[in-house]
Structure 1
């Protein structure tokens, strides 16, 4: 473990054990470095690294604070990681999405309000029978975002959001190269929406699995 890694771990432990809480201001750099037995340069590198993943918030002229640690804020870093990976590695992220999203869809079928479930149908109605690829992808992102939010679990929602947005390039690629992709996506979205509105969680889970597995299978064969 490098000195910087050790510094990151010690700050992380202070947050875990409650010494530092969301919104707290870190002690002065010299005081904190002495308290943790670190050089000021190592502490500075640790703070910089933790600010990049939104654990710390550096406010110039004011000090360094622990962020809100909101799951959505922390998930932004995961989305950045997905963006940097090659298409073959994106398959690993799709596999994770295939595990998480059907569970969130089943939860939405029991927790989402009637109005929000109906709103999913209205969202799909805006597309028409032959939408452009860009319109379809934008609707797809919003459709899945609403379902994840409808699960009622903000951590699960943030994880799915972090995985979903950065996979947009694969969605566009599929829409441009696979002729039946648009019709299949529209049909699967409608089946998912109807299962949620009908309060059939296991049916919703099954359709979500089929939907995501289709993109995963296409990308695997395309590569």
Structure 2
């Protein structure tokens, strides 16, 4: 288990056991890290990840709290983390992405207008030099949406867009827990764009396969 995953699991167990209840403030970072046998950096990453899915609420200058939700709702916000370890439904979504998105990417390489290609480049360029995982995933969703639209097939585009929601949280989780995932995503987006811009459909298809399959492979290991 990755260090960040292990840290998340320890905090999660404190909540599930009732040691931490909704509305409770977490102990000071140094004290909690020592108590859980974690480095402060690992604890910080775990807190950040749990804040992203609304399990924790980080209040600047005040501390970090378990979100003030009913226990049932609190567990619901954590369910996708648990699902990664007991349900392969999200993998099935990625399997469908791996079939559809490379086809759409190849079609986009011939169907997109020059203006569409320029707009796709603008999406990549809009990402900050050191993006947060939230910014990267939002950019990722927009990038793939533009390609799906550029394929020129409304039905195919609709199918691909319907897969975005069920896979978004897994993309966030990968960015937080897999070393180098953010850099790899940016490199592959650039390669896909360059293949589309140079009107090489089969190269674009190949890079899209690599891109989606990489997330799928990580997810299979995480289960």
Tell me the TM-score range normalised by the shorter chain: 0.5 to 0.7
After the TM superposition, which residues 56-75 of structure 1 pair with which residues of structure 2 at under 5 Å, given as runs?
Answer: none
**2:214 paired residue number:** 214
Deviation of 1:179 after TM superposition, in Å, equals 2.0
Q: Do residues 199 (structure 1) and 191 (structure 2) align?
A: no
Q: Runs (4+) of structure 1 moved beyond 3 Å?
A: none
Give the whole-Å Cα distance in 1 for the aligned partners of 2:93 and 2:177: 21
The answer as to whether partners of 2:112 and 2:150 remain within 8 angstroms in 1 is yes
What CA deviation, in whole Å up to 9, does each residue of 1:128-148 have, x standing for no partner? Answer: 332100000000000000000
Please give the secondary structure, in 1, of the residue aligned with 2:163: helix
Give the whole-Å Cα distance in 2 for the aligned partners of 1:111 and 1:166: 27
**1:17 paired residue number:** none
Give the whole-Å Cα distance in 2 for the aligned partners of 1:117 and 1:196: 7
**Mean Cα displacement is larger for which, 162-171 or 183-192?**
162-171
Deviation of 1:191 after TM superposition, in Å, equals 0.4
**1:135 paired residue number:** 135
Normalised by the length of structure 1, the TM-score is: 0.61
Please give the secondary structure, in 1, of the residue aligned with 2:117: helix
The answer as to whether partners of 1:175 and 1:181 remain within 8 angstroms in 2 is yes
C-alpha RMSD over aligned residues: 1.5
What CA deviation, in whole Å up to 9, does each residue of 1:111-154 have, x standing for no partner? Answer: 01111111111111111332100000000000000000000000
Deviation of 1:166 after TM superposition, in Å, equals 2.1
**1:90 paired residue number:** 90
Deviation of 1:178 after TM superposition, in Å, equals 1.0
The answer as to whether partners of 1:106 and 1:204 remain within 8 angstroms in 2 is yes
Q: 5+ unaligned residues in a row in structure 2: which ranges? A: 1-79
Deviation of 1:89 after TM superposition, in Å, equals 1.2
**1:170 paired residue number:** 170
**1:73 paired residue number:** none
**1:150 paired residue number:** 150
Give the whole-Å Cα distance in 2 for the aligned partners of 1:119 and 1:105: 15
Deviation of 1:103 after TM superposition, in Å, equals 0.2
The answer as to whether partners of 1:141 and 1:165 remain within 8 angstroms in 2 is no
Deviation of 1:100 after TM superposition, in Å, equals 0.6
What CA deviation, in whole Å up to 9, does each residue of 1:158-196 have, x standing for no partner? Answer: 000001232100000001101200100000000001110
Deviation of 1:93 after TM superposition, in Å, equals 1.2
